[in-house]
Structure 1
Amino acid sequence: MPKIHPLADVKSTNIGKDTRVWQYSVIFEGAVIGENCNVCAHTLIENGVSVGNNVTIKSGVFLWEGTVVADDVFIGPNATFTNDAKPRSKVYPKSFSGITIKRGASIGANATILPGVVVGEDAMIGAGAVVVSDIPDGAVVVGNPAKIIRYLTK
């Protein structure tokens, strides 16, 4: 059974056992969150978002429709996800371009990820990076725009 703080607004019934949801988090009805996750305070998870098992979502993170987060992912504080490539006020696309974060990836604090990007397995995005294109498995990226500085080895 998940542990949900009484000050969280959680509508989804698809939250795995041993997942912790902290105060002031908002989770929409259509969101799916796996087991043993930690969803920190001041977060939002929209309909159509899928979060795997053993995921940490730090404070200030909003996951928008179409986002897919695999198992064992770390999302640092205030990391920014986007899903609309041509945002305009009161103009809504027929579908959103979600972001895919593959297993074991880590996203640093204040990183920004543009719509449609795929972050590879075990990749690492440095704090404050602006990710404008796909990141290969095991790559470490930093900067604006994010550039590969090395690859992690196991």
Structure 2
Amino acid sequence: MSYFVHESSYIDEGVTIGDGTKVWHFCHVQKGASLGEKCSLGQNVNIANNVKIGNGVKIQNNVSVYEGVELENYVFCGPSMVFTNDLTPRSKYPKGTEGYKRTLVKYGASIGANATIVCGHTIGRWAMIASGAVVTKDVPDYALMAGVPAKQIGWVCECGTVLKNEWKCQECDREYTLNDGELQEK
């Protein structure tokens, strides 16, 4: 086995786990899920049926990634952040897989502790969602989002540094351009 699973965790049949991935205490990875290489699942993480997780993804303690959510490579999910997959849930009238709304978190995006991602939206590449924010709409690449509901309050570099009134990062020297409301690396 080229990955680590703590003895207190459950891995259902039909799960794919990439090399170097670590699944820590009290996790459950359900049937049909796919975890990429070099991922880390903290304590008490649940990965639902058929969820796809890319390489290098870090999911902190107490996060459930529900069916209908996809995490691309190098996504960070902070402690106790929440994904949803049904806009109008009813216990008496379950919708099942066909009724779940798709949520896509793109390459390199970070979601802060206790943030909520309402289903049916896309979080752009390298976007950063502040702790406690509630995302209710699509998020552009490199956007810095905060509040309830989340609003864009700025832009962030790929390295995570907030860009302040200029398009060159003070930490790593990456340069960006803003075209029609979209930030792009030069």
Instruction: Tell me if 1:7 matches 2:8.
Output: yes
Contact 1:64–1:98 (CA<8 Å) still a contact in 2? no
Say if 2:15 and 2:29, in contact at 8 Å, map to a contact too: no
> What residue in structure 2 maps to residue 88 of structure 1?
90
Task: Give the aligned residue type for 1:96.
Answer: Y
Q: How much identity, in percent, do the aligned residues show?
A: 40
State the match for 1:73 in structure 2: 75
Show structure 1 runs of 4+ deviating over 2 A: none
Question: Match of 2:58, as an amino acid?
Answer: T
> TM-score when scaled to structure 1?
0.97
Whole-angstrom distance in 2 between the partners of 1:20 and 1:45: 13
Q: Give matches, 1:102-113, under 5 Å.
A: 102-113=106-117
| Shift in Å, 1:48 | 1.7
Contact 2:23–2:41, Cα closer than 8 Å, also in 1: yes
**Number of matched pairs:** 154
Q: Which of structures 1 and 2 has the bigger CA Rg?
A: 2
Structure 1 residues not aligned, in runs of 5+: none
Q: Deviations for 1:36-73, whole angstroms, at most 9, x for unmatched residues?
A: 00001101000121000000000010000011000011
| Corresponding position of 1:125 | 129
In structure 2, give the amino acid aligned to 1:136: P
Q: Letter of the aligned partner of 1:126 in structure 2?
A: A
Superposition CA RMSD, Å: 0.9
Q: 1:15-30 counterparts in 2 under 5 A?
A: 15-30=17-32
Please list the CA deviations of residues 14-52 of structure 1 after superposition, one character each: whole Å capped at 9, or x if unmatched: 000100000100100111000000001101000121000
* Match for residue 116 of structure 1 among 111, 114, 120: 120
Q: Which moved more, 1:90-99 or 1:5-14?
A: 90-99
Is contact 1:31–1:48 with CA below 8 Å preserved after alignment?
Answer: yes
Q: Which has the higher contact order (CA 8 A, sep 6+)?
A: 1
- Residues 110-144 of structure 1, C-alpha deviations (whole Å, 9 max, x = no match): 00010111000000000000000000000000000
User: What are the ranges of 5 or more consecutive residues in structure 2 without an aligned counterpart?
Assistant: 158-173, 175-186
Aligned residue in 2 for 1:54: 56
TM-score, normalised relative to structure 2: 0.81
Output the CA distance in 2 between the equivalents of 1:3 and 1:112: 29
Q: Is the 8 A contact 1:106 1:122 kept in 2?
A: yes
- For 1:76-133, what per-residue CA distance to the aligned partner results, in whole angstroms no more than 9, with x for missing partners? 0000000001111131223210211000000000000101110000000000000000
